[in-house]
Amino acid sequence: MRIFPIFCALLVLVTALAGLTAFARPAAAWEPPTGPGWKSMVVTATAYCSYDDQTSTHPYLGAWNDVMVPGSKAIAVSRNLIPMGLGHNAPVYIHGLEGEYRVRDKMNRKWKNRIDIYYGRNEKGALRWGKRRVRIYWKPTNEE
């Protein structure tokens, strides 16, 4: 009867070790999007949250009247990037971050060559991001 608890403990240990080795493996290398129509450039990237002091009087409403949902992959762009094809809903990939982001907001006119990554209500995450220079890749849209 003492063998069963030992067997269960070993099974839990082996399962845990198998899970840890999955995390120890290097992640797949990040590949920029390729193909016709994709553009890229280096911009300054900051982060913002849905708080009154970081946005307008409507912290969950983007400049194109999109409702900003915490957890969504959205960015704001400086207005000088919009004529380059970074208009409303343009797909954007940010080097070093997973997944596709969408342009959902515009930044103040004083900023140039800049994006602001939406962090919902995660102020600690936004502060951790800080201010960085990153390469972005986008497929131009005609929407302004």
**CATH number of the domain bearing residue 100:** 2.40.40.10
Structural domain includes residue 7: no
Instruction: Tell me the backbone φ, ψ of residue 24, rounded to 5 degrees.
Output: -75, -20
Residue 126 domain flag: yes
* 133 falls within a domain: yes
Residue 31 placed within a domain = no
Instruction: Provide the β-strand partners of residue 130.
Output: none
How far is residue 38's CA from residue 142's CA, in Å, rounded to a whole number? 14
* Structural domain includes residue 111: yes
Q: Domain count of the chain? A: 1
Residue 11 lies inside a defined structural domain of this protein: no
Q: Quick one: average pLDDT of 116-137?
A: 95
Q: Is the pLDDT of residue 5 over 90?
A: no
Q: Is pLDDT of 128 > 60?
A: yes
In a domain, 3, yes or no: no
Note the Cα 117 to chain centre separation in Å: 6
Give the structural domain span for 81. Answer: 39-138
Burial of 15 (C-beta count, 10 Å sphere; 0-12/13-18/19+)? exposed
pLDDT of 76 higher than 90: yes
User: Which of the residue ranges 54-58, 121-125, 132-136 would you say has the lowest mean pLDDT?
Assistant: 54-58
Q: Is the pLDDT at 19 greater than 50, yes or no?
A: no
Asked whether residue 110 is assigned to any structural domain, the reply reads yes
